C-alpha cells in the first residue's frame, strides 16, 4: 500500500507549477493521498484549476478560495472541508507575502504597515488556519501540519528584511503550536528550503546570486529541486516522521551548516 493511501490532505499555497506547495502535492499524490487545494484571489484560481486538471483523479479534487487575510474565508474553507471530508489528515501551509519595497528598502525603513502585512500573511496565518483545521485533524485521530520557512530567520541574508522577521516568528509559532497540539496527536513542522525560483522568491532581489552561492559552497554542491523539497514534505506529512514535531528541517543540501567564512571559501 502506498504511504498516503486514504489520507486527506489540504494544500494551501499553489500559485503555479513552480510553487513549493505543488511539489509537496505531487509527492503526496504519488503516494496515494486525496488532495484539496486553495487559491488566494480570483487571479490565481485558473492557475490552480489548470494544475489540478493535470491530476488523473482531478474530478475528485476540490479547489476552494482562501485569502488568509480574511477570517471569513478561512472559516468558510474549513466548514466546506468538514462538509465534504469530515476530517483532515494533513494541512500544508505554504504561504508568504511581503511588499517588494519592504524587501528592497533598508531595514530601518520598514513601516508598521509593511511589517504587519508580512507577519499577518506569512506568520500569523499559520496560527489562524491551524485554529480552524484543528477539529478536523482531531476528527482524524491526529495529523500533520507543515509550513515553509527560510534560513534568513536564523542568519542575516541581505534583502530578506521583513520576510526574515516573519520567518523567525513562523518558526516560533511552529514550536508553540506543536506543544499545544501534541496531546491531540497533531504534529507541526517546518521545512527550511534552499532557494528555488518561484513567484514569491522573485520578489527578493539577488536570488540568482544566492543560488550560485549554494551551488558553489553547499556540502552537496547543488541547489535543491522542487521534487526534492516535495519529498521532504511527504516525509513530514507521512507516518514515517510520526515522532517528529516542532522541528525546522533544513532541505538545503546542507548550506545552513556553513559559517559565513565557510560559504565564502573558494
Ligand atoms: P509561491 O509564490 O509559489 O507561493 C506563495 C504562495 O503564497 C502563493 O500561492 C500565494 O498565492 C500565497 N499567498 C500569498 N498571499 C496570500 C494570502 N493573502 N492568502 C493566501 N495565500 C497567499 O512561492 P513559494 O516559493 O512556493 O513559496 C511558498 C512558501 O515557501 C513561502 O512561505 C515561502 O516563503 C517559502 N520558501 C520559499 C523559498 C524559495 O526560495 N522559493 C525558500 C524557502 C521557503
Q: Is 92 in the pocket of ligand 1 (CB under 6 A)?
A: no
Reduce the DSSP state of residue 219 to 3 states and report it: coil
pLDDT over 90 (residue 104): no
The set of catalytic residues is 150, 160
- Cα 200 to ligand 1 centre (Å): 5
Per-residue pLDDT band at 78 (split at 50, 70, 90): very high
Distance in angstroms (rounded) separating the CA atoms of residues 175 and 180: 9
- In this prediction, residue 263 carries a pLDDT of 61
pLDDT over 50 (residue 265): no
- In this prediction, residue 189 carries a pLDDT of 99
What DSSP string describes 62-128?
-EEE--TT-HHHHHHHHHHHHHHTS--SEEEE------HHHHHS-GGG--HHHHHHHHIIIIIHHHH
- In this prediction, residue 111 carries a pLDDT of 94
Q: Are 256 and 223 in contact (CB under 8 A)?
A: no
pLDDT over 90 (residue 101): no
Is the sign of the CA dihedral 238, 241, 246, 252 positive or negative? negative
Per-residue pLDDT band at 266 (split at 50, 70, 90): very low
* Residue with CA at minimum distance from ligand 1 atom 3: 19
Between 234 and 265, residue with greater pLDDT? 234
Q: Are 112 and 216 in contact (CB under 8 A)?
A: no
Q: Is 20 in the pocket of ligand 1 (CB under 6 A)?
A: yes
Percent of the chain residues past pLDDT 90, beyond the cut: 91
pLDDT over 90 (residue 2): yes
Q: Are 147 and 104 in contact (CB under 8 A)?
A: no
Give the global pTM.
Answer: 0.97
- In this prediction, residue 262 carries a pLDDT of 60
Q: What is the side-by-side order of every strand in the sheet holding 143-149?
A: 63-65, 34-39, 8-12, 90-93, 143-149, 186-193, 248-251
- Cα 95 to ligand 1 centre (Å): 4
Lowest mean pLDDT among 14-18, 99-103, 149-153: 99-103
- Cα 199 to ligand 1 centre (Å): 7
Distance in angstroms (rounded) separating the CA atoms of residues 98 and 118: 5
- In this prediction, residue 244 carries a pLDDT of 98
Q: Which CATH class is domain 8-253?
A: alpha beta
- Cα 48 to ligand 1 centre (Å): 14
Q: Is 193 in the pocket of ligand 1 (CB under 6 A)?
A: yes
Q: Are 189 and 241 in contact (CB under 8 A)?
A: yes
Average pLDDT, whole number, for the chain? 95
* Residue with CA at minimum distance from ligand 1 atom 35: 148
Atom of ligand 1 nearest to the CA of 20: 26
Q: Is 129 in the pocket of ligand 1 (CB under 6 A)?
A: no
Q: Is 203 in the pocket of ligand 1 (CB under 6 A)?
A: no
Give the domain ranges of the chain: 8-253
**Grid coordinates representing 212?**
550560485
Atom of ligand 1 nearest to the CA of 39: 11
Amino acid at each position: 500500500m502506498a504511504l498516503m493511501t486514504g489520507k486527506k490532505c489540504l494544500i494551501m499555497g499553489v500559485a503555479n507549477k513552480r510553487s513549493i506547495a505543488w511539489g509537496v502535492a505531487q509527492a503526496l499524490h504519488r503516494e496515494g493521498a486525496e488532495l484539496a487545494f486553495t487559491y488566494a484571489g480570483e487571479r490565481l484560481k485558473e492557475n490552480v484549476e489548470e494544475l489540478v486538471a493535470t491530476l488523473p483523479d482531478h474530478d475528485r479534487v476540490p479547489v476552494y478560495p482562501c485569502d488568509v487575510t480574511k477570517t471569513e474565508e478561512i472559516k468558510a474553507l474549513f466548514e466546506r472541508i468538514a462538509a465534504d471530508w469530515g476530517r483532515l489528515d494533513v494541512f500544508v501551509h505554504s504561504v508568504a507575502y511581503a511588499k517588494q519595497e519592504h524587501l528592497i528598502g533598508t531595514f530601518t525603513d520598514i513601516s508598521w504597515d509593511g511589517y504587519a502585512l508580512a507577519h499577518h500573511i506569512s506568520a500569523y496565518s499559520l496560527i489562524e488556519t491551524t485554529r480552524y483545521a484543528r477539529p478536523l485533524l482531531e476528527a482524524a485521530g491526529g495529523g500533520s501540519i507543515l509550513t515553509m520557512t527560510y534560513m534568513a530567520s536564523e542568519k542575516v541574508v541581505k534583502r530578506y528584511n521583513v520576510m526574515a522577521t516573519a520567518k523567525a516568528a513562523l518558526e516560533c509559532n511552529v514550536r508553540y503550536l506543536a506543544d499545544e497540539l501534541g496531546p491531540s496527536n497533531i504534529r507541526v513542522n517546518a521545512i527550511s528550503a534552499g532557494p528555488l525560483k518561484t513567484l514569491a522568491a522573485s520578489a527578493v532581489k539577488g536570488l540568482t546570486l544566492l543560488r550560485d552561492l549554494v551551488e558553489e559552497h553547499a556540502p552537496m554542491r547543488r541547489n535543491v529541486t522542487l521534487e526534492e523539497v516535495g519529498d521532504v514534505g511527504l516525509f513530514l506529512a507521512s507516518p514515517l516522521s510520526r515522532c517528529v514535531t516542532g522541528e525546522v528541517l533544513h532541505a538545503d543540501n546542507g548550506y545552513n551548516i556553513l559559517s559565513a567564512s565557510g560559504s565564502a571559501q573558494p
